[in-house]
Amino acid sequence: MADFRFSFNIPDIVSAEEFAETCRRAERYGYDTLFAADHLGSEAPFPALVAAAAATERLKVGTLVLNAAFWNPALLAREVITTDILTGGRLELGLGAGHMKWEFDEAGIAWEPFGDRADRLEATIQELGRLFAAEGYPQQAATREAMGRGVPRPMQRRGFDGAGPPLIVGGTGDRILRVAAEHADIIAVAGVYQIKGQPPGSFRIGTAEEADERVRYARGCAGERADAVEWHVLVQMIVETDDRRAVAEKILEQHGRTMTVDELLDTPFVLIGTVEQMAERILRDRERFGFSYYTVHGPFMEAFAPVIERVRELTADRS
């Protein structure tokens, strides 16, 4: 059974000094990875990851996840290689198909049908693997030789068939999970679903039964690889409380009744309860779903820290 790893998404970056201290504090709390998203209105991912690695000693950094449609593979390969080098080989590269139509509109990028976006994602993964393994561009060979310059290459050989950093692919649909099963080192089973009949970007939290089915489907697609990959979950909300049902009821009142109270309390994508209850839940969910790599959103980084400590204590006690 895979060891636990814990991570958080970047909170707002107000200043270089404050961001560096947040990263160092997270490292002291026991977080393993800091992730950057890839959304308009948010910080640019790669500079933030380089800064986070420079401020810390062991914290891995990654993207959760890049929108493949926003990136030209050749230019993305350059960003990834440089970031992997500057972070000392601590980069994890997450890629997705993109799902927020308004971002495409604002960026002036054509919004394609889901199947086309999924095809673009897989093509990007394949092209990145080729570029990571290549010996540079032949057009530059003579110049490199004359100037004594080498070819920038990723420090890591853990992903992309041994040619680059570990690859994360996440989603909920069959097509994306098949891509993840075939290519990814870390499969992220997403916990939000587009609400049918609503505009793109209208989401609901997935149930435990849906998580069961999605993991089962992805494992089937992965075949012999299923036990070798890490299984990742993004927890959407952390609430510490002695009254789980009352809090669940309040959340549903505020955010819409897309599920029952019992379903909310059972889903792996929301954690509600005492520190002990949340820690025990994480241990149970590893048994049930295989999830061992947990990410929380930046605003919950502090609240989740005692849970990390307790999970590791319980794991040590039971090993």
> Residue 159 has what DSSP assignment?
B
User: Is residue 199 predicted with pLDDT exceeding 90?
Assistant: no
102 three-state secondary structure = helix
pLDDT of residue 312: 98
Domains and CATH numbers, the chain: 5-233 (3.20.20.30)
Residue % of the chain over a pLDDT of 70? 99
Answer for the pair 296, 307: CB distance below 8 angstroms, yes or no: no
Q: In 10 A of CB 246, how many CB atoms?
A: 12
- Long-range contacts at 102-106 (CB < 8 A, ≥ 24 apart): 102/200, 102/201, 103/39, 103/40, 103/67, 104/69, 106/40
pLDDT digits (tens, 9 = 90+) for 144-160: 889 989 999 999 999 99
H helices of 205-300, in order, are 208-222, 244-255, 261-266, 275-289
Q: Rounded CA gap, 306 and 191, in Å?
A: 23
Residue 284: alpha-carbon gap to chain centroid: 21
User: Is residue 319 predicted with pLDDT exceeding 90?
Assistant: no
Residue % of the chain over a pLDDT of 90? 91
pLDDT digits (tens, 9 = 90+) for 181-197: 999 999 999 898 888 88
pLDDT of residue 54: 98
Q: In 10 A of CB 316, how many CB atoms?
A: 8
Q: Tell me what the mean pLDDT of segment 4-16 comes to.
A: 95
pLDDT of residue 77: 98
Query: pTM value?
Result: 0.96
pLDDT of residue 198: 80
The token duo for 251 is 């959340």
How much is the mean pLDDT over the chain? 96
pLDDT of residue 29: 98
pLDDT of residue 16: 97
pLDDT digits (tens, 9 = 90+) for 61-112: 999 999 999 999 999 999 999 999 999 999 999 999 998 999 999 999 999 9
Q: Rounded CA gap, 271 and 162, in Å?
A: 36
